[in-house]
């Protein structure tokens, strides 16, 4: 339904998106996960035809968004990060306008507007001016706007940002209802959101795709991935070498503690392995003083941070400890 | 309805609805009527006194001097209406694109299956319709002149005056639409539109005298010169071309400006 090939976007010398390729199948919900400035919004804007790509192609429902822009746009519903609302319009008036510019035939317009209102539970506010609605209800109007022409593809940029927990749950519930009938891409920087709503996740960082997987796989991988923390006194260089020689160790990060020579170490190990005793044996075997050793299981957030933050590993792992 | 027209009408309807609930449109309308009415009264009494003086002169000295009071009244009235349009129309167009940019609704328009042309035309026609609504009450001024003055004012001057006023307003609106598309600030849009319009209004004074090439150019560019012809009842092809090409240029630049927005946005 959506095919993105070697998509690149530059602003002058700044690269916003670099060589991104992915596909989304019909009826699938795809999550775009990444920190602010990762290129999520830029990618979505290119998909919707708002921005031209520097290089690469995007096809939506078989139509090239640059070459056959109007045909592609007809099939896309788009909720930008800031809902594009006219505060002085009523909910119904606004949706009627959107239906018109999206090319909904006059005969169906009324029923489409009613359907969008029903889907987003805006019934009792249909005659209300948009400026009188609360943040959560405005977001719903934004969603209704993206759905009013019954598009094959729905693109939602941070649909839950700025909402309270109850509203977030409602919006997620609504997105889940779109599965099967619509192909959905949504962006977020909140992990639980993708695991709750998406079939597949693309983790994007610094304009590149860092990982693609199902949330289930990611979660399984994460549950298995282990972190072992140590505090000891010993030789820093030798320590790293020694630990890395143990099979199953992925990453080692070492930080010197202020009080004379003690080291704080974080060792990341393969999923499903328990290397605590082997690590202890290795450390003690070299004659180093071991003060502390404990296992911390990596959370989803940690993997996400590892994949997407610019900070050094030490800070990241420390911050989560 | 063809697809192209449907998009234009959708945008047009939305803009008109916006004017309907916008305080700015009502302020512009109110000010236009207030200032227009005030000048109408002043001009009328001025010429009535002059014509009275002229007829008294005629009684004293016989030979009546030629004073075409109705024509002069209409001529002055169109002059004033043009100036009021110069001051007020920038306010009518300041929000057309600037407000959409500030609110982010331009993103909705530009990702919908409507072309930039449909957006530009729909918005321009809406602002032009607002101008037509502004002008509607001024028909009353002319109506009074037409039914009550003796001799009757020539209909030709009225028609050519209105044609000139429509072209003048159309040109200012095209300029205002374009400038509004360059900024997110309504205030900047209004001020810049007004200044550019004002410079074009009086450019023949600012330029060097006639005779030199630049002088000629400045004379040609002067809005006032072209407009005055219409207000005197002269429909000159040069002036039609002048205003026509100005409107076309304004719409074209707005179109380019929308297109460039896609490339600039960071």
B199: left (phi over 0), alpha (psi -120 to 50) or beta: alpha
Same domain, A170 and A277: no
A318 Cβ contact partners less than 8 Å away, ≥ 6 residues apart = A255, A264, A266
Q: Does A107 touch chain B (CB under 8 A)?
A: no
Give the residue-averaged pLDDT of B201-208: 74
Q: Inform me whether the C-beta atom of residue A96 falls under 8 Å from chain B C-beta atoms.
A: no
Give residue B209's pLDDT band: very low, low, confident or very high (50, 70, 90). Answer: low
Q: Do A88 and B103 touch (CB under 8 A)?
A: no
Torsion sign across C-alpha atoms A33, A36, A39, A40: positive
Residues of B whose CB is below 8 A from A97:
10, 13-14, 17
Question: Mind listing the pLDDT tens digit for each residue in B62-117?
Answer: 666 666 777 788 888 888 899 999 999 999 999 999 999 999 999 999 999 999 99
- For chain B, what's the residue count? 266
Q: Which residue has the higher pLDDT, A273 or A298?
A: A273
The chain-wide mean pLDDT, for chain B, equals 87
- Tell me the chain A residues in contact with residue B115 when contact means C-beta distances shorter than 8 Å: 70
Q: Could you report the per-residue pLDDT of A200-209, keeping only the tens digit for each? A: 888 888 888 8
**Which range in A10-14, A113-117, A243-247, B234-238 is most confidently predicted, on average pLDDT?**
A113-117
- C-alpha R_g of chain B: 21
Contact B113 A84 (CB under 8 A): no
Are residues A272 and A166 located together in one domain of the fold?
no
The closest CB to that of A49, out of B14, B104, B111, belongs to B111
- B109 contacts A48? CB cut-off 8 A: no
Nearest CA in chain A to B22: A88
Does A101 contact B114 at a Cβ distance shorter than 8 Å? yes
Least confident of A76-80, A120-124, A291-295, B208-212: B208-212
Among candidate residues A195, A220, A245, the one where a domain is terminated: A220
Nearest-CA residue of chain B relative to A37?
A: B266
Nearest to B108 among A11, A45, A84 (CB): A84
pLDDT of residue A221: 60
Q: What number of other Cβ atoms are within 10 A of residue A126's Cβ?
A: 16
Q: Are residues A20 and A144 in the same domain?
A: yes
Kindly report, residue by residue over A211-223, the tens digit of the pLDDT: 787 777 766 665 5
The pLDDT value recorded for residue B18 is 93
pLDDT of residue A312: 38
Considering only alpha carbons, which residue of chain B is nearest residue A145?
Answer: B108
Q: Which chain A residues are Cβ-neighbours of B3 within 8 angstroms? A: 103
B245 interfaces chain A, CB cutoff of 8 Å: no
**Across residues A169-187, what is the average pLDDT?**
89
The answer to whether residues A126 and A152 belong to one domain is yes
pLDDT band with cut points at 50, 70 and 90 for residue A272 = low
Establish if B16 touches chain A: CB-CB under 8 angstroms. Answer: no
Q: Do A198 and A281 reside in the same domain of the chain?
A: no
Residues A208 and A236 in one domain: no
- Asked if B112 reaches chain A (Cβ–Cβ under 8 Å), the answer is yes
Range of the structural domain that residue A276 is part of: 221-320
Are the beta carbons of B60 and B4 closer than 8 angstroms?
A: no
Specify the DSSP element, H or E, that contains B206: helix B186-206
Decide: helix, strand or coil at residue B201: helix
**Which residue in chain B is spatially nearest to A87 when comparing CA positions?**
B103
Residues A210 and A252 occupy one common structural domain: no
What are residue A263's DSSP bridge partners?
A: A232, A256
On whether both A48 and A167 belong to a single domain, the answer is: yes
How many CB pairs lie under 8 A apart between chains A and B? Answer: 76
Among A199, A220, A183, A187, CA closest to A308? A187
Q: Please, what sign has the CA dihedral across residues B61, B63, B66, B68?
A: positive
For B19-55, what is the HEC assignment? HHHCHHHHHHHHHHHHHHHHHHHHHHHHHHHHHHHHH
What is the model's pLDDT at position A321? Answer: 41
Nearest CA to A268 out of A244, A245, A247, A250 is that of: A250
Q: Are A167 and A139 in contact (CB under 8 A)?
A: yes
Q: Are residues A122 and A230 in the same domain?
A: no
Residues forming beta bridges with residue A233, ordered by sequence position:
A262, A289
Q: Which domain holds residue B68?
A: 3-264
Work out the percent of chain A whose per-residue pLDDT is above 70: 87
Q: Alpha carbon A73 to chain centroid distance?
A: 23
pLDDT per residue as tens digits for the range A96-134 = 999 999 999 999 999 999 999 999 889 999 999 999 999
Quick check: A315 pLDDT over 60? no
Task: pLDDT band for B1, please (50, 70, 90 cuts).
Answer: low
Highest mean pLDDT: which range of A191-195, A207-211, A256-260: A207-211
Closest-approach residue (CA) in chain B for A90: B17
Q: Is A224 on the interface with B (CB under 8 A)?
A: no
Question: What is the rounded average pLDDT of the residues B51-64?
Answer: 75
CA distance A116 to chain B (A): 17
**In chain B, pLDDT over 70 holds for what percent of residues?**
94
| HEC secondary structure over A199-258 | CEEEEEECCEEEEEECHHHHHHHHHHCEEEEEEEECCHHHHHHHHHHCCCEEEEEEEECC
By the 8 A CB rule, do A239 and A288 touch? yes
Q: What does the angle CA A79 – CA A85 – CA A86 come to, to the nearest 5 degrees?
A: 160
Picking from A205, A220, A235, the residue at the C-terminal end of a domain is: A220
Nearest to A50 among B14, B111, B114 (CB): B111
Number of domains in chain A: 2
> What are the b/e assignments for B41-79, b being 16+ CB within 10 Å?
eebbeebeeebeeeeeeeeeeeeeeeeebbbbbbbbbbb
Q: What is the mean pLDDT of residues B140-169?
A: 84
- Same domain, residue pair A226 and A184: no
B13 interfacial to chain A (CB closer than 8 Å): yes
Q: Of all helices (H) and strands (E), which one includes residue A76?
A: strand A76-79
Partnered with residue B183 across adjacent β-strands are none
Q: Of the candidates A220, A237, A252, which is a domain's last residue?
A: A220
Where do the DSSP E strands lie in chain B? none
Do the Cβ atoms of B188 and B194 come closer than 8 Å? no
Same domain, A128 and A187: yes
**Residue A101's CATH number:** 3.40.50.300
- Confidence check: pLDDT of B256 > 50: yes
**Structural domains counted in chain B:** 1
Residue pLDDT, tens place only, B13-28: 999 999 999 899 999 9
Kindly state whether residues A32 and A133 are assigned to the same domain.
yes
Beta-carbon separation of B111 and A73 below 8 A: yes
Q: Is the pLDDT of residue A298 over 60?
A: no
Tell me whether B11 touches chain A (CB under 8 Å). yes
Segment A232-255 shows an average pLDDT of: 83
CA–CA gap between residue B228 and residue A133 (Å, rounded): 51
């Amino acid at each position: 339904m959506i095919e993105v090939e070697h998509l690149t976007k530059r602003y002058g010398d700044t690269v916003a998106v670099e060589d991104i390729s992915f596909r989304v199948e019909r009826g699938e919900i795809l999550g775009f996960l990444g920190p602010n400035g990762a290129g999520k919004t830029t990618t979505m804007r290119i998909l919707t035809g708002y921005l031209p790509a520097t290089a690469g192609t995007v096809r939506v429902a078989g139509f090239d968004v640059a070459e056959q822009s109007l045909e592609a746009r007809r099939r896309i519903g788009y909720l930008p990060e800031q809902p594009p609302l006219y505060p002085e319009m009523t909910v119904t008036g606004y949706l009627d306008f959107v239906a018109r510019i999206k090319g909904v035939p006059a005969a169906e317009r009324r029923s489409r507007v009613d359907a969008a209102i029903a889907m987003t539970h805006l019934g009792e506010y249909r005659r209300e001016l948009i400026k009188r609605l609360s943040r959560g209800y405005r977001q719903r109007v934004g969603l209704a706007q993206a759905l009013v022409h019954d598009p094959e593809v729905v693109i939602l940029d941070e649909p839950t940002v700025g909402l309270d927990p109850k509203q977030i749950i409602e919006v997620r519930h609504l997105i889940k209802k779109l599965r099967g009938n619509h192909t959905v891409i949504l962006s977020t920087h909140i992990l639980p959101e993708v695991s709750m709503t998406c079939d597949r996740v693309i983790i994007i960082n610094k304009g590149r795709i860092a990982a693609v997987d199902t949330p289930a796989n990611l979660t399984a991988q994460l549950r298995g991935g282990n972190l072992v923390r140590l505090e000891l006194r010993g030789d820093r260089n030798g320590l790293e070498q020694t630990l890395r020689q143990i099979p199953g160790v992925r990453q080692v990060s070492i930080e010197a503690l202020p009080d004379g020579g003690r080291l704080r170490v974080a060792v990341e190990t393969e999923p499903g392995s328990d290397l605590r005793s082997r690590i202890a044996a290795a450390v003690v075997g070299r004659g180093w003083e071991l003060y502390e050793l404990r296992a911390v299981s990596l959370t989803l957030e940690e993997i996400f941070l590892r994949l997407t933050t610019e900070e050094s590993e030490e800070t990241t792992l420390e911050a989560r400890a | 309805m063809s697809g192209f027209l449907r998009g234009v009408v959708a945008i047009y309807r939305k803009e008109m609805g916006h004017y309907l609930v916008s305080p700015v449109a009502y302020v512009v309308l109110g000010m236009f009527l207030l200032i227009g009415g005030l000048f109408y009264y002043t001009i009328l009494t001025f010429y009535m006194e002059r014509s009275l003086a002229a007829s008294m002169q005629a009684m004293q000295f016989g030979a009546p001097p030629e004073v075409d009071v109705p024509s002069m009244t209409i001529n002055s009235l169109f002059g004033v209406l043009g100036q009021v349009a110069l001051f007020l129309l920038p306010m009518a167009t300041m929000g057309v694109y600037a407000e959409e940019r500030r609110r982010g609704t331009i993103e909705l328009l530009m990702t919908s299956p409507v072309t930039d042309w449909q957006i530009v035309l729909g918005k321009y026609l809406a602002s032009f319709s607002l101008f037509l609504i502004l002008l509607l009450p001024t028909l009353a001024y002319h109506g009074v002149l037409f039914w009550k003055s003796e001799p009757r004012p020539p209909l030709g001057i009225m028609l050519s005056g209105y044609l000139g006023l429509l072209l003048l307003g159309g040109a200012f609106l095209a300029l205002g639409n374009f400038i509004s598309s360059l900024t997110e600030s309504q205030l900047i849009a209004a001020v810049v539109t007004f200044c550019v319009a004002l410079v074009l209004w009086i450019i023949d004074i600012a330029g060097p005298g006639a005779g030199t090439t630049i002088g000629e150019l400045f004379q040609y560019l002067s809005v006032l010169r072209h407009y005055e012809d219409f207000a005197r009842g002269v429909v000159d092809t040069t002036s039609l071309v002048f205003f026509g090409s100005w409107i076309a240029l304004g719409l074209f630049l707005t179109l380019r400006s929308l297109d460039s927005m896609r490339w600039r946005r960071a």
